Amino acid sequence: MAILVTGGLGYIGSHTVVELLNNNYEVVIVDDLSNSEKFILKNIEEITGKKPVFYPFDLKRKELLAQVFDAHPIDGCINFAASKAVGESQLKPVDYYENNLFSLINILQEFKQRGISNFIFSSSCTVYGQADQMPIDENTPLKMPESVYGKTKQMGEEILTDFAKAYHRKVSLLRYFNPIGAHPSAKIGELPIGIPNNLVPYVMQTAAGVREKLSIWGDDYPTEDGTAVRDYIYVVDLAKAHVAALKKLMEDESNVATIDIFNLGTGKGSSVLEVVKAFETANDVKVPYQICDRREGDITIAFANVDKAKEELQWKSDTSLEEALKTVWEWQKYLKNRNT
Ligand code: NAD
Ligand code: WQD
C-alpha cells in the first residue's frame, strides 16, 4: 500500500517523506513545485537510498489526481500542499481559498469514491488565535483567525470532521506550532524563496549577510523581555509525529469515524530575543537587529500543551532550540555552496 504525500517536496513534507521511507512506507508525492524545487527529490533519494514516486502537477487538476489513484494502491494521505504566506493571503484571498480548499476537496472526493480512510491534515496553531491561557491544549476554544490563511486551516479542519463523520473515515488534524530547522544531512530544509516572513529563515539570512538587519517586531509585549513568545519545534521531530499519527490511524481497524486532534510543539515558549541569542551561541555568529513596531496581526504568546501527543502517539520533541538552530546554519551553508 502507498501513502500519498501532497506537497512532499516542500519544507515539512520533504522531512516527512524521509521519515516515511525510513519506516518502509511506499510514498507517492504530488507537488506542483509552486513553492519547492526538484533538487529536493534527488536529495531525499540521497538521504534515504530510496526513490519515491513523484508527480509534478497542481492538485486542483482533478483528472490528473484521479490517474494517480488509478495507478497506485493509495491507503492514506498526508496533505501538506497549501499556500502558507499569511500576509499574501490577505491580498489574494480568493487564490488562497481556491488552492487550500479545492486541493483538499479534490483528494477527499477520491477518498470518498474509493473507500479510502487515513487522512492527515497540516493544521496550525493559528486556529487558536491569541488563546486566553497557556499552555494551549487541544480543548482550548478556537478563535476566528485573523488571516485568510488561518481561515483556510479552520475550514479544512471542519471539512475533514464532516468527512470523517459522514463516511466513517479516520482523520488526524495536526496543529503545528512553529516548525524550524533542517535535516541533519543539510540536504533538505526550508527554501528561502523571496524575502522570508518567518523569524528563523530571516535570522539565517541576516547572519549570512543576505539581509542587513533583522527587524524585531515589537519589544513592548507583556512577556519577560518584551518580545513575543512562540513554541519552536524542530522539523525532524515534527516529521516523526506524522509517522506516529499515521500508524495510529492505520492500526485502528474499527469502522467508526475517528477524528484525532494533536498539538505538535515542544511545550516550551521562547521569545524572539531568545531565538536570536540561541542562534548566535549555537553557531558563533552575529545577528544584527533593530527593534521595530509590532507586526499587525501578531499575537503575544503561544506554546503548546503536548501531553496528548505524548500519551496517544508516544511522541515528543526532544531537540533543543540550539540544536535545531545549528541545523539551520548548516543548511544555509549548503544553499550557499549550491549557488556558487
Ligand atoms: P511549503 O510551502 O514548503 O510546502 C508546501 C508544498 O505544497 C510546496 O512544495 C508547494 O509546491 C506544494 N503545493 C502548494 N499548492 C499545491 C497544489 N495546489 N498542488 C500541488 N502542490 C502544491 O510549506 P510547509 O512549511 O512545508 O507547510 C506544509 C503544510 O503545513 C502547509 O499546509 C502549511 O499551511 C502547514 N503549516 C506550516 C507551518 C509552517 O510554519 N511552516 C505551520 C503550521 C502549518
Ligand atoms: C515568530 C515571531 C514575529 C519575523 C506564522 C503564521 C502561523 C504559522 C507559523 C502556519 C513573531 C517575530 C518574525 C521577523 C520578527 N504558520 N518576527 N521579525 O507569526 O508565530 O506564525 O508561522 O500555519 O500561522 O502566522 O511565526 O516566524 O512569522 O514569527 O520579529 O522578521 O517572530 O513578530 O513574534 P508566527 P513567525
Residue pair 9/52 in contact by the 8 Å Cβ criterion: no
Residue 200 CA to ligand 1 centre (angstroms): 17
User: What is the residue-averaged pLDDT of the chain?
Assistant: 97
Closest ligand to Cα 156: 1
User: Which residues are within 8 A (CB) of 253 and not within 5 positions of it... i.e. 6 or more apart?
Assistant: none
Q: 318-339: per-residue pLDDT in tens?
A: 999 999 999 999 999 999 999 8
Cα 289 versus chain centre, distance: 27
The DSSP 8-state label assigned to residue 42 in this structure reads: H
CB of 20 shorter than 6 A to ligand 2: no
CB of 272 shorter than 6 A to ligand 2: yes
Backbone phi, then psi, for 119, in 5-degree steps?
Answer: -120, 125
Q: 85-127: per-residue pLDDT in tens?
A: 999 999 999 999 999 999 999 999 999 999 999 999 999 999 9
What is the fold, at CATH topology level, of the domain defined by 2-180+233-264?
Answer: Rossmann fold (3.40.50)
Distance CA 84, CA 107 (A): 19
CB of 82 shorter than 6 A to ligand 2: no
The ligand 2 atom nearest the CA atom of 230: 20
Determine whether 25 is an active site residue. Answer: no
Query: What percentage of the chain's residues is helix, strand, coil (to nearest 5)?
Result: 45, 20, 40
User: Up-side HSE of residue 29: CA atoms within 13 Å toward CB?
Assistant: 28
Cα 212 versus chain centre, distance: 28
Residue 64 in grid coordinates:
490528473
Distance CA 176, CA 136 (A): 12
CB of 245 shorter than 6 A to ligand 1: no
Nearest CA owner, ligand 2 atom 15: 216
pTM: 0.98
Per-residue pLDDT at 340 exceeds 80: no
The ligand 2 atom nearest the CA atom of 149: 24
Q: Tell me, what amino acid is at 1?
A: M
Residue 295 in grid coordinates:
507586526
Q: Name the packing angle between helices 321-339 and 199-207 (round to 10°).
A: 60
CB of 11 shorter than 6 A to ligand 1: yes
Q: Tell me, what amino acid is at 29?
A: I
Q: Is 70 exposed, middle or buried (0-12, 13-18, 19+ CB in 10 A)?
A: exposed
Nearest CA owner, ligand 2 atom 23: 124
The DSSP 8-state label assigned to residue 142 in this structure reads: P
DSSP E strands in the chain: the ranges are: 2-6, 26-30, 53-55, 74-79, 119-124, 170-176, 178-180, 214-217, 229-230, 232-234, 258-264, 270-271, 289-292
Q: 192-219: per-residue pLDDT in tens?
A: 888 999 999 999 999 999 999 999 999 9
* pLDDT band at residue 255 under the 50/70/90 scheme: confident
CB of 228 shorter than 6 A to ligand 2: yes
Residue 150 CA to ligand 1 centre (angstroms): 13
Residue 197 CA to ligand 2 centre (angstroms): 7
pLDDT attached to residue 78? 99
Q: Tell me, what amino acid is at 318?
A: D
The domain limits of the chain are 2-180+233-264, 199-229+267-338
In angstroms, the Cα distances linking 32 to 47, 82, 173, 190, 298 are 22, 11, 23, 17, 30
Which string of b and e fits 221-239 if b means at least 16 CB within 10 Å? bebeeebbbbbbbbbbbbb
Distance CA 339, CA 318 (A): 33
pLDDT attached to residue 49? 98
Q: Which CATH number fits domain 199-229+267-338: 3.30.70.520, 3.90.25.10, 3.40.50.150, 3.60.21.10?
A: 3.90.25.10
pLDDT attached to residue 250? 97
DSSP 288-300: -EEEEPPPTT--S
CB of 294 shorter than 6 A to ligand 2: no
Q: Which of 25, 55, 96, 149 is catalytic?
A: 149
Q: How large is the average pLDDT for residues 184-193?
A: 94
Q: 1-40: per-residue pLDDT in tens?
A: 999 999 999 999 999 999 999 999 999 999 999 999 999 9
DSSP 143-177: ---SSHHHHHHHHHHHHHHHHHHHHT-EEEEEEE-
Q: 267-289: per-residue pLDDT in tens?
A: 999 999 999 999 999 999 999 99
pLDDT attached to residue 193? 85
Which of 203, 226, 209 minimizes the C-alpha distance to 278? 203
